[in-house]
Structure 1
């Protein structure tokens, strides 16, 4: 709680409000949302090793493409 020492109420309340909202959203998730998440977890568990390797390769390739794109981008200053 030392984090909040010296801060005003107006500075602290948004932090607590965000945490409260996240907790409330979790508690009031619909059954369909929970079942959807469960299906995704089960699907991930049931993947074969070859599927997992293919998925990792795809993600690695996408990350590499993103890095290549970032290297090509140039920051241009606004002339205003």
Structure 2
């Protein structure tokens, strides 16, 4: 703070204004970059959501196609056979 001793308000104000403007410019640039990154992320998310919807639709169509070919056959022979293998 000794640096500013003996300086007038106008001199000090010019120094602070210079650094203040520099900081504001940096913050605005950072804000713009952040918004740009957010927009890119949103586009990726939207694109992936659309891709997921298309993929789900294709799977649903495949399921419907497979259901058409599915035939339930009654089985009157409900006997269950198992083979046991001795462990000892």
What's the TM-score bracket when you normalise by the shorter of the two chains? 0.3 to 0.5
TM-score, normalised by the number of residues in structure 1:
0.38
Structure label with greater radius of gyration: 2
